[in-house]
Every structure is written in C-alpha cells, then in structure tokens.
Structure 1
C-alpha cells in the first residue's frame, strides 16, 4: 500500500496579486504568511489563522483571468458556522460586485451556500450544514435528533 498523502496547498497563478490577497483576507479571513520576490516573480502564501502548517494557498503572479460561466461549479470551499454567516458573506459579495451564486439550500451533503468570484475568476463557496469544517457538529446533532 502506498504511503498516505495529505493535501497541503493549492497553487494558483493570478493576474493581480494585490487584489487576490485582499480578497482572500476580506472574505476568507486568510493571512499573508510568506511573500518572496525574485526578478519578475512574486509568490505569496496565505493561510487561515492557526492552519499555517496544515493548508495554504500559494498565489503566483503571471496568470490569466478565468472566465467561468455561472453554472461552472469548480470552486474552493470554506465552511461557516451559521446560515446567517453565509447570508452576511453573500451580502458583502453583492455589495462588492463579486457574488456569483446567491444563497441557496441543497440536499445533504451540500447544505446552505453561496458563491463568490475572486479577482482572478476562481469561484469560492461559503457553506453551512456540510459534514465538513465549522458547523459540522451542528449537522451531526441534527442527524442524531438532538436539539443541542
């Protein structure tokens, strides 16, 4: 049996580094944890607080803008602690002009979610009620029939 592998990062080429760093700070709460420059290359590492050694986004300049149709569901997924938090992110995104999918409910295991477009065209989902990340414990309690 091969050794167990664990995902540690996703690397993305982006056209506007500053805009992408600002987006992932504002909407995802990620922090810039490393940045380096060499010649024409800039590489930025971003992580959620406390997950700097677990999972990061590596942003590299020199990409092309993506032009995904609204019904293309490839995305990065972030879990939130409540439906209200999904609604709040969706409202912020609508105000910023980057909301792609308004909040909606889907059957298990999808839950309640909305989708945003980052400055490079990647889609970012914010969800509540999936059996992953924050809010998963609430889902588990509901499945077991416990109100608390």
Structure 2
C-alpha cells in the first residue's frame, strides 16, 4: 500500500481566529473537535473532503514570521480570476493580504496570497494544473 497524504497539523497562537479565517476565506468547516492540548483540537475540511484531507488545528503555537522572500504556503484553487480578485479584496479589507493578485507564466497562473492569524501564508490561484477543473491541463 502506498502512503496517502491525509492531513496537515498546525499549532497556532489563537485557535478561534484561525478557525474563523479558514471558514471565511477557504470555505472550510469544522468536522470534528475534542478536548486536548490545554484547550481543544479542531479538524477542518473542505465540504466533500472530510475523509480525504483535513487541517488539524491546535492551540499552543507561536506566530510565524516568514521572511519576505519565503513563499511557503498552503494553496487553494478557485474557479476564476474574478474569485481570486474577490478574495484579495476581502483580505485587503481584513488587513491580511500579502500578495496582491498577479499573473505568472504557466503553471503558476493568476493568484493572490493571504496571511492567516498564525502567520502561515495561504495562496488562492486560478489557472494552475491542480485542483478541480485542471484534469484537462498538462503538468509542466
């Protein structure tokens, strides 16, 4: 049997702020929570992906201060350039936009970036050969 990526676990400084961020910007929802790590542990997933990939969010982390040239991030695909722009505008108003919408050559596409309340970067892209609708696109 081959390994399958099922989750990413994050220690965060403010659990409720991170849960709210991923609900608001990523349309993820809480699929499980339980007592643990001095507070509670929360599992979040995209609708329909509850059994295939989740974020496990736990309290007790420190704020990440990524360097300006550090592009470590979580990547979410969206259905259009307009959706990238809408997310960027909401993030700008919320004070968490770090990369304004921009176009890059294939396979990067059109994207913007946000900073979550723990300091993780989150990218929203359109036109990459990944995610829903990309099955017809060749990999680079």
TM-score (normalizing by structure 2)? 0.93
Is 1:112 equivalent to 2:97 in the alignment?
no
1:79–1:135 Cα contact (<8 Å) kept: no
- Equivalent pair of 1:70/1:101 in contact (CA under 8 Å): no
Instruction: Indicate whether 1:71 and 2:102 are aligned.
Output: no
Q: Distance in 2 between matches of 1:83 and 1:15?
A: 32
How many residue pairs match? The answer is 138
SS in 2 for 1:136: coil
Q: Distance in 2 between matches of 1:108 and 1:38?
A: 43
**1:90 alignment partner in structure 2:** 88
Q: Which has the larger radius of gyration?
A: 1
Structure 1's consecutive aligned runs of 4 or more residues displaced over 2 angstroms after TM superposition are: none
CA-CA distance at 1:72 after TM superposition: 1.1
Partners of 1:99 and 1:135 in 2: how far apart?
Answer: 26
Flag the 1:39–1:108 CA change in 2: closer, same or farther, 3 A: closer
Is 2:31–2:44's contact at 8 Å kept on the other side of the alignment? Answer: yes
Q: Report which of the two has the higher share of helix.
A: 1
Mark the runs of 5 or more structure 1 residues left unpaired by the alignment. 144-148
Give 2:131's match in structure 1, choosing from 94, 110, 133: 133
CA distance in structure 2 between the aligned counterparts of 1:14 and 1:128, rounded to whole angstroms: 28
Structure 2: gaps of 5 or more residues: none
Distance 1:60 1:21 in 2: 10
Matches of 2:40 and 2:82, distance apart in 1? 36
Counterpart selection for 1:5 from 3, 6, 11: 3
Aligned 8 A contact 1:82 1:135 in 2: no
